[in-house]
A and B are shown apart, each in its own frame.
Chain A
């Protein structure tokens, strides 16, 4: 790890100013991606702006029929939340299946989505529910937020404040984890609700994506059987030591069916 300055602001505005004043500054929430990268000397921010001191960013609340989760809320807090468990149990299970207890007690929803790791779970949850990402500057629909591999719609100096989830009628998440890293090799989130029927896939491609053919099939017939025979093309999927593109394409179908089977009201 190289040397760096450390700041712990107490408001979003202060954080934004620190970010603007330090060209090579980096925000830190749970730090579970940033710190290992820094330890390996693959990242060298001039300053770290720790969001942990901003009370507004933490917590879960109901607001106008939506569930709003603050950016620095940990995965463990989401998994254990009575509100989330009651209204979107699939999201509680998604959060409870991220990494291991250490990761879940440090990692945050804001950090995860801002990093947009192609194998992270939350992108599937946000896109699969049609969530809204609120920043210090604007609101961004999840469909527009995740742009490409490790790339989001966030602009310079823009900070995720919270995520607003519509409450679905039914939703389910099925994850096929990487046995080493416990990230998703393929994770599929399905839901039916105010945002229509959604099928969002993480892990399989360079960035979370929706499968329109599956959404159409489920719109007509909400059942695992409706998905039989629907495949996704493998040519744009990831391939690595742990899974070929062909295997991932197959798993998208399997996990989509299992997500529908697991879906609860």
Chain B
């Protein structure tokens, strides 16, 4: 790729976003639309003995009230989990049904009992209060650590609340290595539950056309085609060509808008029941807290075996992963193939074994959230490495250096299934150490101590597997879908270009980055290119945006489609220039006869393609090509983040004094957008490490159900990040890109926790490292120092 496409082009989409002219789902209103309000369970676990809807049906403006029985009578299926995990005994994971409206039991606070549909939202809300649900309460459990130890049985299909018991890696080799180890370091870790909190709450409008038997669903989806596939093939049993899904402007997803949810399913189904009246639902923020899929929630014991030189010999990880009350669309893949496979980190640990028991609890379903499994893996590896360095009195940078996979060792086969393709881990470390002035940290620590403060520094050398994913590989691992991407690149007759992508932008800036990619490929101004996404009616096919895949996979599909356009253009140019096709070169927007000054611009070629008065025989008119791209491997973004903190022992307040990030995302198209992604990711990582935690009490009530109690990071909680980049292009995709969207959220938590534990002199603190937790430890430390 020539470098001319790399620049800090201002985001094309920001004109409409910053002037309030975005079109989000809730901004849309369809003629004659009705409004849905869900009756949700206020109990964490109960048998539903009866649901009386008579009074609600009589209420003003109410058009219908539906229950799970109505959907069952109509043959509506269960919301599926799209990835089958095979456990260590060769059995498929337990897949209890997950009906859009419950039929017999409620299993978490926020579970869907009934839907009230009325002429106005207020009428629906009033009537929802009249739905009488007769519950018989059952004991509840929200704690994954207790789920396997005699907790209440949540699904009959999953005895002991166990969904699967899965392992990866060579246990015998790991045991052998541990038996010979010079030293073993151990850690107990809790990866806290997070609630995604996209700025735009989920919303849906379902609309059925009785005249054509076609459905349209407007929805806040990160992947409209995938949602259509799930909805049609598994839930509503509809033919795909009769269903159109429009995901217009979407205000953030972070994974939580990947899935097929109950609400959009109900709106789509109900519109047909109501003879085509559109049915709209928009989540209130409290519904987002209780019913968006949550993230993380792991309990882990890890052990690292080392030789006398600090070389890693083996890593052993035992995790309990909380899946919540039901399986969300990709819940099973997150704590397995997106987690265990990353436990080698950036290191040549020769043997790794990971065991994961995934459990059901009376909490909201847990699925992918920014990073999805990889933050959990990185947290284990990087906390463990830091622990080992401290145990062995080694410099944390040096112990990493001794264990890194080296640049000449790629492709590198890890002991946990992945083949790393490229990277320069030590270079990133060296740059990050220089940026933060690591060698003078001791002076800064002394300065802080003179002011009565505790200072710490923490490293995180992360790696992720992105560019998800080679379809054959994920198919062999249980995925129910292929993970290619498609793109259509259309020259219009007058030379402008429309790009149709199956990727979906919900904040990532694809309309700019993809336009830059295409403009660069064709040698035309970026203004000439518009990117269309988020509508199954306009885009041929797609798999959507998650797992930092859009540029690596979606961008590669676009490049392939561009190349097809150029190939066809050469035939037209050869005809016009009276030359052989083999002699035509394309460069900087012009088709030229090699070695001559005879040329035609790509605009002229496009015009000729649509006005083919003088045209080569046997070539179709038009300049409009579609490509599908299925990656050959995952991509492996990696880097080093270093956090430096200063703690006020009197109050336990942690101030982030400095933060450097050196990331390798392969080829970068728009550095400004990439830096923005890094900043946002770090903010979420800092949120996890310092502030955020989804808390359920012992009765299964969500304690952190609003911003009064769930603590999102604010600007004044965050430092000014210093972001550096190195570029090792991905060797196997045509863009050379690796992906950048999740890196910050993956790298940040261990960097920050390593800094805090460094300052406090103990590993015994869990995320979020709240001020009170820090104070309790710092107080003890000060008391010890005083004695």
| Alpha-carbon distance between A1 and B124 when the two chains are bound, in angstroms | 12
Quick check: which of A204-212, A229-237, A247-255 contacts chain B, the rest being far away?
Answer: A247-255
Cross-chain contact A241 with B709 (CB below 8 angstroms): yes
25 examples of A-B residue contacts, CB within 8 angstroms:
A1-B122, A2-B126, A40-B286, A41-B125, A41-B129, A176-B651, A179-B691, A179-B711, A179-B771, A180-B691, A180-B708, A180-B710, A181-B707, A181-B708, A181-B709, A241-B695, A241-B703, A241-B704, A241-B709, A242-B709, A242-B772, A247-B775, A247-B776, A254-B650, A254-B651
Contacts of A243 in B (CB 8 A): 772
B717 within 8 A of A: yes
CB-contacts of B686-715 with A (<8 A): 691, 695, 703-704, 707-712
CB-contacts of A202-242 with B (<8 A): 241-242
Cross-chain contact B651 with A180 (CB below 8 angstroms): no
Query: Could you list 8 further interchain pairs (A-B, Cβ under 8 angstroms) beyond the known A180-B708, A241-B704?
Result: A41-B125, A41-B129, A179-B711, A180-B691, A180-B711, A180-B712, A243-B772, A254-B651
Name A255's closest neighbour in chain B (CB-CB).
B651
Contact mask B622-657 → A, CB, 8 Å, 1/0?
000000000000000000000000000011000000
What size tier do the contact residues of chain B reach? 20 to 34
A81 within 8 A of B: no
| Alpha-carbon distance between A125 and B406 when the two chains are bound, in angstroms | 62
Q: Decide: A180 near B709, CB < 8 A? Known: A1-B122, A241-B695.
A: yes
Contacts of B717 in A (CB 8 A): 179
Contacts of B772 in A (CB 8 A): 242-244, 247
Most buried by B among A1, A180, A244, A254: A180
Cross-chain contact A251 with B651 (CB below 8 angstroms): yes
Interface residues of A (CB under 8 A from B): 1-3, 40-41, 176, 179-181, 241-244, 247, 250-251, 254
| Alpha-carbon distance between A207 and B122 when the two chains are bound, in angstroms | 36
Contacts of A1 in B (CB 8 A): 122
Interface residues of B (CB under 8 A from A): 122, 125-126, 129, 286, 650-651, 691, 695, 703-704, 707-712, 717, 770-772, 775-776
Contacts of A176 in B (CB 8 A): 651
| Alpha-carbon distance between A175 and B546 when the two chains are bound, in angstroms | 41
Minimum CB–CB distance from B99 to chain A (whole Å) comes to 27
- Nearest 6 pairs of A and B residues by beta carbon: A180-B711, A181-B708, A247-B772, A179-B711, A254-B650, A180-B709
Find B707's partner among A40, A180, A251 (CB 8 Å cutoff): A180
Name B710's closest neighbour in chain A (CB-CB).
A180
Contacts of A180 in B (CB 8 A): 691, 707-712
| Alpha-carbon distance between A17 and B661 when the two chains are bound, in angstroms | 63
Most buried by B among A40, A179, A242, A254: A179
Name A248's closest neighbour in chain B (CB-CB).
B772
Name A176's closest neighbour in chain B (CB-CB).
B651
Name B768's closest neighbour in chain A (CB-CB).
A179
Contacts of A41 in B (CB 8 A): 125, 129
| Alpha-carbon distance between A1 and B125 when the two chains are bound, in angstroms | 9
Contacts of B286 in A (CB 8 A): 40
Contacts of A40 in B (CB 8 A): 286
| Alpha-carbon distance between A145 and B567 when the two chains are bound, in angstroms | 82
Contacts of A251 in B (CB 8 A): 651
Contacts of B712 in A (CB 8 A): 180
Most buried by A among B122, B708, B709: B708
Contacts of B126 in A (CB 8 A): 2
| Alpha-carbon distance between A42 and B710 when the two chains are bound, in angstroms | 20
| Alpha-carbon distance between A247 and B129 when the two chains are bound, in angstroms | 40
Name A251's closest neighbour in chain B (CB-CB).
B651
Find A250's partner among B125, B711, B775 (CB 8 Å cutoff): B775
Contacts of B651 in A (CB 8 A): 176, 251, 254
Contacts of A250 in B (CB 8 A): 775
Minimum CB–CB distance from A249 to chain B (whole Å) comes to 12
Contacts of B707 in A (CB 8 A): 180-181
Minimum CB–CB distance from B195 to chain A (whole Å) comes to 12
Minimum CB–CB distance from A62 to chain B (whole Å) comes to 33
Contacts of B775 in A (CB 8 A): 247, 250
Name A180's closest neighbour in chain B (CB-CB).
B711
Name B690's closest neighbour in chain A (CB-CB).
A179
| Alpha-carbon distance between A80 and B543 when the two chains are bound, in angstroms | 53
Name B775's closest neighbour in chain A (CB-CB).
A247
| Alpha-carbon distance between A18 and B392 when the two chains are bound, in angstroms | 75
Contacts of B691 in A (CB 8 A): 179-180
Name B703's closest neighbour in chain A (CB-CB).
A241
| Alpha-carbon distance between A250 and B770 when the two chains are bound, in angstroms | 16
Contacts of B770 in A (CB 8 A): 242
Minimum CB–CB distance from B39 to chain A (whole Å) comes to 13
| Alpha-carbon distance between A180 and B707 when the two chains are bound, in angstroms | 6
| Alpha-carbon distance between A247 and B776 when the two chains are bound, in angstroms | 9
Contacts of B125 in A (CB 8 A): 41
Contacts of A179 in B (CB 8 A): 691, 711, 717, 771
Minimum CB–CB distance from B693 to chain A (whole Å) comes to 9
Minimum CB–CB distance from A232 to chain B (whole Å) comes to 16
Name B648's closest neighbour in chain A (CB-CB).
A254
Name A243's closest neighbour in chain B (CB-CB).
B772
Minimum CB–CB distance from B458 to chain A (whole Å) comes to 20
| Alpha-carbon distance between A1 and B126 when the two chains are bound, in angstroms | 9
Contacts of B695 in A (CB 8 A): 241
| Alpha-carbon distance between A243 and B650 when the two chains are bound, in angstroms | 14
Minimum CB–CB distance from B217 to chain A (whole Å) comes to 27
Minimum CB–CB distance from A93 to chain B (whole Å) comes to 16
| Alpha-carbon distance between A137 and B661 when the two chains are bound, in angstroms | 62
Minimum CB–CB distance from A236 to chain B (whole Å) comes to 19
| Alpha-carbon distance between A1 and B121 when the two chains are bound, in angstroms | 10
| Alpha-carbon distance between A251 and B195 when the two chains are bound, in angstroms | 29
Minimum CB–CB distance from A256 to chain B (whole Å) comes to 12
| Alpha-carbon distance between A223 and B703 when the two chains are bound, in angstroms | 41
| Alpha-carbon distance between A40 and B125 when the two chains are bound, in angstroms | 11
Name B776's closest neighbour in chain A (CB-CB).
A247
| Alpha-carbon distance between A243 and B773 when the two chains are bound, in angstroms | 10
Most buried by A among B710, B711, B772: B772
Minimum CB–CB distance from B706 to chain A (whole Å) comes to 9
Minimum CB–CB distance from A226 to chain B (whole Å) comes to 17
Contacts of A3 in B (CB 8 A): 122
| Alpha-carbon distance between A178 and B707 when the two chains are bound, in angstroms | 11
Most buried by A among B650, B651, B770, B776: B651
| Alpha-carbon distance between A1 and B123 when the two chains are bound, in angstroms | 10
Contacts of A2 in B (CB 8 A): 126
| Alpha-carbon distance between A1 and B129 when the two chains are bound, in angstroms | 12
Contacts of A181 in B (CB 8 A): 707-709
Contacts of B129 in A (CB 8 A): 41
